[in-house]
């Protein structure tokens, strides 16, 4: 059963516990309105609040945090993250996750004393952990600003309309998903931190979707023809453990037969059936075979996908804390690529989301009943869905993991030529050891991740190529026309290709935090972001403020990833 515990913010943001004037009001005014409470949205709201702004943060689920919490995706980060490659506040978040475990969990002495504690000891991340821990940490980071009155949080609220005059957004209407009541939010600046760039069509802000053509961008890995509906797979994640000797097999999913027999029609070809141990190496596209053993620590075997995104390793905790390791399933086998959620009608989006949930449940059922085992048997009936880990009744994450959003037509668009290793080689003629990403004079942060695109709704297989540690240009956060709307997550000025290295946790946090900073600075100085970027003195002053608040604006010399 899902836990009945109501989170701190759920209580504070409920209609009965909000300040009466906020709960009752149909119209509200703030300095900054952050629409979307995901990873970037939280960072944006925290940045604006700590710089003295009155801020409202809305979120359609009842958990803030997005990728880190409601989507249940453990942090995917660059290999230098322990010493460089993120903002100070993101590092505070990471440190707080470890401290939360040391303070509240019965860790073994060895685990407690490990400076770089990784609760799940996964091989995808240095800090895989339970989504509820990230939620607790983010709530704690927000709490002082809420107590001071600078930050208001409206959970279970979704944007449904906008009032736009010329090139300015005057107000955004959000609807309470529990009772249908609406509030009109007025603000000097609106930050779109929704997972799919929902404010862009509502405010008539120009945007791009899907893959651009090579003729449009000149990118090495762009297709010949633009495909606006060619959008990366999304995933309905879930957590599970394994109780040997018990049977926790779920009811057979309605669409199980379809998903069990599906051979993905992708180019280049997949390795076999989607529900199977064979797929393709994302980089080489050669067929590979996965291992899987939920008892790998006891057997001394290769856990394979079991340890891939493991969020709790039993041996890191005292005897009796966990009956099993717990792993988070965000695998190639439950990537949904038969459609997308934002370039379709609402009815189609609901259908695709329902089918994506069926895919994830079918994967679990296949693992429990038919999956081939190294010992010649079939299935692990002891695999147990853990709805308590994700806070839902059905055991699937509260929100699908969205890899690709609508993207603003920006003052500056980051292309593969700016960050891709092979593209930079062609452009500069330099050897790989001498390569660096394009240097942006208007940098507002840094990031690093491979250009990693998952199979897409247009039939593409993986596009996974090397990239160089990069800077985040302010120009990518400024729409070409609209003056007071800023992207605060994956909806900035990138392409289908470069989205592949801008979409993960520390980069999204940096984008959101930078958006909160520029909005606050513009209100304080009365200079809009577009003018700050174009004026050298104003830009320099803003970048000094960023550095004073813990932003890294340029990389030391490091190699490609």
Residue 1 has pLDDT above 80, yes or no: no
Is 293 within 8 Å of 307 (Cβ atoms)? no
Note the pLDDT tens digit of each residue in 152-162: 999 999 999 99
Residue 540 has pLDDT above 90, yes or no: yes
Which one has a higher pLDDT value, 361 or 269? 361
Is 482 within 8 Å of 516 (Cβ atoms)? no
Q: In this structure, is residue 488 part of a structural domain?
A: yes
Residue 411: left (phi > 0), alpha (psi -120 to 50), or beta? alpha
- 267, 353: one domain: yes
Q: In this structure, is residue 399 part of a structural domain?
A: no
- 238, 191: one domain: no
- 264, 180: one domain: no
Query: Which domain covers residue 242, as residue numbers?
Result: 234-390
Q: In this structure, is residue 337 part of a structural domain?
A: yes
Q: In this structure, is residue 193 part of a structural domain?
A: yes
- 365, 492: one domain: no
- 202, 250: one domain: no
- Say how far apart CA 180 and CA 134 lie, in whole Å: 29
- 41, 135: one domain: yes
Average pLDDT over residues 496-509: 98
Residue with tokens 């059922």: 365
Q: In this structure, is residue 184 part of a structural domain?
A: yes
Residue 559's pLDDT band (boundaries 50, 70, 90)?
confident
pLDDT attached to residue 11: 53
- 68, 203: one domain: yes
**In degrees to the nearest 10, what's the CA dihedral of 121, 122, 124, 128?**
-70
324 contact partners, CB below 8 Å, separation of at least 6:
241, 242, 243, 294, 314, 384
- 201, 67: one domain: yes
- 313, 205: one domain: no
Strands 335-336 and 234-235: antiparallel
The CATH number covering residue 209 comes to 3.50.50.60
Is 170 within 8 Å of 154 (Cβ atoms)? no
Q: How many CB atoms lie within 10 A of CB 286?
A: 9
pLDDT attached to residue 25: 75
Q: In this structure, is residue 508 part of a structural domain?
A: yes
* Total structural domains within the chain: 2
pLDDT attached to residue 2: 39
- 189, 284: one domain: no
Note the pLDDT tens digit of each residue in 546-558: 999 999 999 998 8
Residue 4's pLDDT band (boundaries 50, 70, 90)?
very low
Residue 21 has pLDDT above 80, yes or no: no
pLDDT attached to residue 268: 87
| Whole-structure pTM value | 0.95
Note the pLDDT tens digit of each residue in 454-499: 999 999 999 999 999 999 999 999 999 999 999 999 999 999 999 9
Q: List C-alpha distances in Å: 256 to 307, 360, 367, 370, 432.
A: 25, 10, 12, 12, 47
Q: Which SS3 state, helix, strand or coil, does residue 427 take?
A: helix
pLDDT attached to residue 10: 55
Note the pLDDT tens digit of each residue in 373-432: 999 999 999 999 999 999 999 999 999 999 999 999 999 999 999 999 999 999 999 988
Note the pLDDT tens digit of each residue in 240-269: 999 999 999 999 999 999 999 999 999 888
67 token code pair: 């990728």
């Amino acid at each position: 059963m899902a836990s009945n515990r109501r989170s701190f913010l759920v209580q504070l943001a409920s209609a009965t516990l909000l300040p009466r004037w906020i709960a009752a009001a149909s119209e509200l005014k703030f300095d900054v309105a952050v629409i979307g409470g995901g990873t970037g949205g939280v960072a944006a709201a925290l940045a604006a609040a700590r710089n003295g702004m009155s801020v409202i943060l809305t979120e359609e689920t009842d958990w803030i945090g997005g990728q880190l919490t409601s989507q249940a995706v453990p942090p995917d980060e660059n290999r230098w993250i322990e010493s460089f490659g993120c903002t100070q506040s993101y590092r505070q978040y990471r440190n707080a996750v470890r401290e939360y475990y040391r303070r509240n969990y019965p860790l073994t002495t060895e685990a407690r004393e490990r400076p770089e504690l990784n609760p799940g000891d996964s091989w995808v991340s240095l800090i895989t952990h339970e989504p509820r821990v990230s939620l607790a940490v983010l709530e704690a980071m927000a709490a002082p600003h809420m107590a001071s009155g600078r930050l208001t949080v409206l959970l279970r609220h979704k944007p449904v309309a906008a009032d736009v005059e010329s090139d300015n957004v005057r107000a955004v209407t959000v609807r309470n998903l529990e009772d249908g009541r609406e509030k009109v939010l007025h603000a000097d600046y609106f930050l779109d931190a929704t997972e799919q760039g929902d404010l862009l069509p509502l405010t008539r802000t120009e945007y791009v979707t899907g893959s651009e053509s090579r003729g449009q961008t000149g990118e090495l890995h762009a297709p010949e023809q633009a495909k606006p509906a060619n959008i990366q797979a999304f995933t309905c994640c879930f957590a599970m453990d394994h109780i040997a000797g018990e049977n926790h097999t779920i009811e057979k999913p309605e669409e199980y037969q379809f998903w069990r027999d599906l051979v993905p029609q992708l180019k280049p070809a997949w390795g076999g059936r989607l529900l199977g141990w064979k797929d393709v190496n994302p980089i080489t596209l050669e067929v590979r075979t996965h291992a899987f053993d939920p008892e790998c620590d006891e057997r001394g075997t290769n856990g394979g996908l079991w340890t891939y995104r493991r969020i709790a390793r039993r041996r890191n905790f005292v005897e009796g804390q966990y009956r099993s390791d717990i792993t988070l399933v965000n695998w190639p086998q439950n990537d949904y690529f038969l459609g997308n959620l934002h370039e379709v009608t609402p009815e189609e989006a609901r259908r695709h989301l329902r089918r994506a949930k069926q895919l994830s449940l079918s994967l679990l059922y296949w693992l429990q009943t038919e999956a081939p085992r190294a010992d010649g048997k079939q299935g692990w009936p002891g695999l147990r869905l853990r709805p308590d880990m994700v806070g839902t009744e059905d055991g699937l994450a509260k929100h699908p993991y969205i890899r690709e959003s609508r993207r603003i037509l920006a003052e500056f668009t980051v292309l593969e030529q700016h960050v891709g290793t092979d593209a930079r080689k062609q452009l500069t003629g330099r050897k790989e050891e001498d390569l660096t990403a394009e240097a942006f004079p208007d940098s507002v942060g840094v990031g690093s991740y491979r250009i990693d695109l998952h199979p897409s709704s247009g039939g593409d297989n993986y596009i996974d190529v090397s990239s160089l540690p990069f800077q985040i240009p302010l120009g990518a956060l400024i729409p070409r026309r609209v003056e007071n709307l800023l992207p605060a997550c994956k909806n900035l000025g990138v392409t289908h290709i470069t989205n592949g290295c801008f979409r993960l946790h520390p980069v999204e946090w940096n984008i959101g935090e930078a958006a909160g900073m520029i909005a606050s600075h513009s209100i304080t100085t009365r200079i809009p972001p577009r003018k700050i970027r174009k004026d050298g003195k104003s830009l320099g002053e803003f970048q000094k403020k960023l550095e004073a608040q813990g932003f890294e604006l340029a990389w030391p010399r490091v190699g490609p990833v």
